[in-house]
Amino acid sequence: MKNNNKWTVRDVITTVLLTVALILIQLVINMVCMVNDFVSMVLSVGITMLLCAPVYFLMVSRVHKRFVSLIYMTILERARELLKQLGLYGYKDVHPATLSGGQKQRLSLACGILSGRDVLIFDEPTSGLDGGNMRIIADMLRNEADKGKTILVITHDGELIH
């Protein structure tokens, strides 16, 4: 099969249809996550990747364009970067239920950031974290706010506020 760089009508239609499928998958996952806090906190990114990865693979294999695979690789790299910043990269292959409370807290922050939403609400995001991890969380929240996101934090931790 010849791989040229010109987009055909078939390529555009395939990309649009598969993108719509990805959006629908994400909408369903978001609706489920609103109902169940555990799914929202721990599993939403994993479920999204599990359901969306075959669609991305189909998109890449059908369209054969670097643009599509570049988007997918960018998303994966962003997830890896966040896991590294939060000290969780070594646990990337571990089931979230086996993580400690503080690790789950940091993972939930990463999930919120990766969701791409403009408004992020965190309830006690530093609960159970040591001072070093609290500073990392505070810096990440500040960076997201600097990017134009609205961040609402509910906390009793005075150190986080200052």
99-139 residue pLDDT tens: 888 888 888 888 888 888 888 888 888 887 888 889 999 99
Write out pLDDT tens, residues 56-103.
666 666 666 555 556 666 777 888 899 999 999 998 888 888 888 888
Structure tokens at 156: 């009793």
Beta bridge partners of 154: 123
Q: What is the pLDDT of residue 43?
A: 58
Higher pLDDT, 77 or 55: 77
Residues 34, 100: contact at Cβ < 8 Å? Answer: no
Beta bridge partners of 120: 151
118/1 Cα distance (integer angstroms): 42
115/33 Cα distance (integer angstroms): 12
Structure tokens at 32: 């489920």
